[in-house]
Amino acid sequence: MIKKFKFGTPFETDAVVKSIPLESSSLPYFETDTTEGLKFTLPLSKEDAVYGLGESVRGINKRGYIYRSFCSDDPNQTEGTHSLYGAHNFIVISTKDKTFGVFFDCPSTVTFDIAFTYYDKLVISSDNTNMYVYIIDGDSIYDIIREFRIAIGMSYIPPMWAFGYTQSRWSYADRDSVRNVVKGYRDLDIPLDAVYLDIDYMERYKDFTVDEKAFGDLKVFADEMKAENIRLVPIIDAGVKIEEGYDVYEEGIKNNYFCTDKDGKPFEACVWPGMTHFPDFLNPEARLWFGEKYKILTDMGIEGFWNDMNEPAIFYSQKSVDNALKLIKEYAKEDTLTLQGFEDIKNYFGSRQNCDEDYSSIYHNTPQGKYCHKDVHNLFGYNMTRSAAAGLLKADPDKRFLLFSRASYIGMHRYSGIWTGDNFSWWSHILTELKVLPGLNMCGFLYVGADLGGFGYDCSRDLLLRWLSLGIFTPLMRNHAACATRNQECYQFEKPEDFKHIIDLRYRLIPYLYSEYMKAAKNGEMMFKPLAFEYPDDLVAKCTEDQLIVGNEIMIAPVYTQNALGRYVYLPEDMTAVRMQGGELTFTDMKKGHHFVEIPENEVVFFIRSDKAIPLCNPAKCVEELDLNTLELIGNGKEYVLYTDDGFAKDYDNPENLKTLKKQ
């Protein structure tokens, strides 16, 4: 059951699509303070746990830290990071006597102090006095999550090819670079379904343009790649270059489609193209206009997109430049630059990127009136991607397109997936990805994944192998790296057959992963489940956060430390260990309890729960060539309910899509 409470005059975010009447009573469970902003306080006992918050750092149980819900362009993702790229204000509070969920529907900053300042208190606060608060009660955590997911709407469903392995890099500068990537994989028979185009493909980083010198006729090139069963997936950034003669810029100016400053003048800031304007995605007319631009690229044969820089990321604004010049001129009047003067100048320049001053200078024209950006910040990326989804729907209503975004808010899950932003080639970021997956699923984001191998810094061979061993289970499986880093395509390393065997296993698992994804999307369920949710009466399981249940049949326990020979694994029940070694699978029945499992870096081990079975097919070089007639069931169970469709159409409720497989 869901109850809805109103504070002040909330901005209508469209996060919740189910009609829920307002309650006239006061908010239960919490002590509410409206003296300064809004503050909600709840006592916590030592055993109580708090789950959720979607994309956030630290553990699955969020207790013990302060989290700031504010879409932030911050690739560090360390334990000290308070905000990441998404803002997902849903939590489940599990106590001895009561378990319930809470969604704070507020598009500006919300702070979750979860037993950090006070070890026995949960304090949620915001300077914004306008928000909806939803309380969700249920008999179990899964009941609560299901009720919430029904309220916020069904999760996005990508085309089936988007479950294949994909390769990306910021620096594929022309057609030959992409051809070489495809050749590198195809020559070694390593499966591949897509290559991503970063900002290099555009004409001077202008949205919906193509650098004809580097990429020629994109339709011809896309057709060439499609003949190899490779999709091209271009990036779209949030900023529109200020340039006379550029049609997107001129249309936006003519129709007042850009965000403005307080005086109504289009806001200027520097991103990749130089000085840009930002489309006002909270204005429905501007949203419709920008979304229809995606057809420029779909008409060229493009079937997928990734939206980036949409927190929005700002390198600096014109206002910052003007203030910086004033500061330098002031210090230039002195005979000698003092240490304090040097520090002042350095600190000012260093703090200009994504600064609160700039965000407070942006204004939106919305159906609910004129709003300062700081009050609706977390809706920007969500509505950019909502814009894209509407445009793609109009371009081809019957077709599924791949679409995912960097910034997000609850509600965007209906339109696209996300990747978890710019990470680093750090071992700790494998564990970060593992722990963030359940929280994202709780908030409706099912098509998720990280930059495998890490975006920043140089990736080692063993790090990529270990990361791929987790990535073969995430719906979005993309290897992505920054320019000037070491090349980390699988064929760039010694013994590439080790990479092939792991990616082959991914393709063998796709019938299972696709089935579990579709069941989770249709039924409001999670695909990645903490052991604490699945085994609530098992104290060890409740404390184990580096293993996950995937779907209903599999448990994974990835290796995430350097030079490890294996790892300790806790089995909450009897399970069958499946080991991939040299492309071959072996099976070992194991008893409930603690085990040390040897896992060489070129092997993968996962576990099938007792009395469960999963389907495997033969590997193929791409999803389109998977032969579902080769399916076999592995595990001790006798049957499995397979979901299968053509991978493109939207007849998700067709009963013929479900098929019960039985062991021979």
Q: Strand, coil or helix: what is 257?
A: coil
pLDDT tier for residue 148 given thresholds of 50, 70 and 90: very high
Tell me how far apart the 2 most distant CA atoms of the chain are, in Å.
Answer: 89
pTM exceeds 0.75, yes or no: yes
610 Rama sector, left if φ>0, alpha if ψ -120 to 50, beta otherwise: beta
- Is 466 in contact with 498 (CB distance < 8 Å)? no
Q: Which residues pair with 111 in a beta bridge?
A: 68, 125
Tens of pLDDT, residues 528-576: 999 999 999 999 999 999 999 999 999 999 999 999 999 999 999 999 9
Helix, strand, coil percent content, the chain, rounded in steps of 5: 30, 25, 45
Place of tokens 């049609």: 247
C-alpha angle 557/560/561, rounded to 5°?
130
Tens of pLDDT, residues 151-170: 999 999 999 999 999 999 99
Q: Within a 10 A sphere around the Cβ of 285, how many other Cβ atoms?
A: 13
Residue 463 contacts by C-beta under 8 Å, 6 or more apart in sequence?
425, 427, 430, 453, 454, 562
| Residue 30 or residue 76, greater confidence | 30
- Is 405 in contact with 156 (CB distance < 8 Å)? no
HSE, side-chain direction, 13 A CA sphere, residue 520: 30
Q: Strand, coil or helix: what is 273?
A: coil
What is the rounded average pLDDT of the residues 183-189?
Answer: 98
What is the rounded average pLDDT of the residues 100-128?
Answer: 98
Cis peptide bond upstream of 28, omega within 30: no
What is the rounded average pLDDT of the residues 602-613?
Answer: 98
**Pick from 403, 445, 508: which is nearest to 54 by CA?**
445
The rounded radius of gyration (Å) of the Cα atoms in the chain is 25
Tens of pLDDT, residues 485-522: 999 999 999 999 999 999 999 999 999 999 999 999 99
* DSSP code string of 47-78: T-EEEE-SS-SS-SB-TTEEEEE---------
What is the rounded average pLDDT of the residues 209-238?
Answer: 98
pLDDT reading at 329 higher than 90? no
Q: Strand, coil or helix: what is 250?
A: helix
Q: CA-to-CA distance for 201 and 632, rounded, in angstroms?
A: 42
